[in-house]
Amino acid sequence: MITVRHSELIRLPLADVYGILACYDNDLLWRSNLSQINQDAPGMARTGMRLRQEIRLFDQRITVQAEVTAAAPNRRTAYVSVDGPVELWEQRIFERVEKDTRLTYELSVELKGWQRLMAPLLISQLQRQFRADLLRLKQLLEETPNPVIELPKRLAGGDPPIS
């Protein structure tokens, strides 16, 4: 299993950052490897909630079904894949740092068969992607007035994410 982790300090209150990132539908605004995501219920993550994601991994588009395993408001969300060609585990940790928020985004992938040969390349690719995605997210959150209200409107209106 490989694990990649990256943290970023976001100049917004903890509740605002959690309010955006606890709703997985909002991932379309900032995750570059994500082409589609659907929650089985609207709103913030709840334990047992199901997700369906189309992601790009190993330069292939794959569909992953996942289940939320942790949803601690303003602290942590996590999910584990329950169906798909790869086993994934993801968590987001939210920490208050004075008036700001430190977000830690972590992903573990269980590699099987030929995929194990790709581990060093995949780790490097995911590290670059995480850095770029979290910087994009930081910019999006910090530069959007009232992001908790405005960013979901962008998705609802079909506006493309900021690249």
pLDDT (tens digit per residue) in 13-41: 999 999 999 999 999 999 999 999 999 99
CATH of the domain at 12: 3.30.530.20
Full domain range(s) for residue 82: 2-155
23: amino acid identity, one letter:
C
Count of domains for the chain = 1
24 inside domain: yes
124 inside domain: yes
148 inside domain: yes
CA angle (134 as vertex; 67, 152 as ends), nearest 5 = 65
- The pLDDT of residue 124 is 87
- The pLDDT of residue 79 is 98
- The pLDDT of residue 56 is 87
Cβ atoms of residues 91 and 70 within 8 Å: yes
Q: Residues 14-43, buried b or exposed e (16+ Cβ, 10 A)?
A: beebbbbbbbbebbebbbebbeebebeeee
Average pLDDT, the chain: 92
Give 38-77 pLDDT, tens digit per residue: 999 999 999 999 999 999 876 789 999 999 999 999 999 9
161 inside domain: no
110 inside domain: yes
Give 83-133 pLDDT, tens digit per residue: 988 899 999 999 999 999 999 999 999 887 877 777 888 888 889 999 999
Contacts of 102 (CB under 8 A, 6+ apart): 7, 8, 9, 10, 94, 95
83 inside domain: yes
- The pLDDT of residue 3 is 94
9 inside domain: yes
